[in-house]
Amino acid sequence: MVALSLKISIGNVVKTMQFEPSTMVYDACRIIRERIPEAPAGPPSDFGLFLSDDDPKKGIWLEAGKALDYYMLRNGDTMEYRKKQRPLKIRMLDGTVKTIMVDDSKTVTDMLMTICARIGKGP
């Protein structure tokens, strides 16, 4: 099988890496952490691969349990290795602001479930 050559972006650093198309996304993230010293430290579950688009409002997070070939990636595609967790500020009806960590790789529905559970308003 022919190796897939992908550009991996971590902050301002872009490295080209070779992967087998059958490599699982989780394993690709592990390889990136091992081979690129600029990869941020932290729990592996907090990081993932994001396939960005020319339009900054578009792009997809690759699911850890799927193989790279599932996403029909081509040689030279650029992927971002970045943190999935980010703080989200929510203004409550009484004017207070709560900050909740959300997982950007989840769907909006899943995010809303997390938000509601954390602010004490279950579905």
pLDDT digit string (tens) for the chain, length 123 residues: 578 888 898 888 888 999 999 999 999 999 998 888 888 888 888 899 999 877 777 889 999 899 999 998 889 888 999 899 889 999 988 899 989 888 888 888 888 888 888 887 544
What pLDDT score does 49 carry? 92
What pLDDT score does 87 carry? 92
Stated length of the chain: 123
Using only C-alpha atoms, the chain has a radius of gyration, in whole angstroms, of 17
Per DSSP, the chain holds a count of helices (H) and strands (E) of: 2, 7
Give the tokens for residue 71. Answer: 């996403």
What pLDDT score does 121 carry? 59
Distances, alpha carbon 4 to alpha carbons 7, 34, 41, 57, 71, in Å: 10, 18, 25, 26, 12
Nearest CA to 4 out of 92, 69, 59 is that of 69
Query: d(Cα 64, Cα 113) in Å, to the nearest integer?
Result: 21
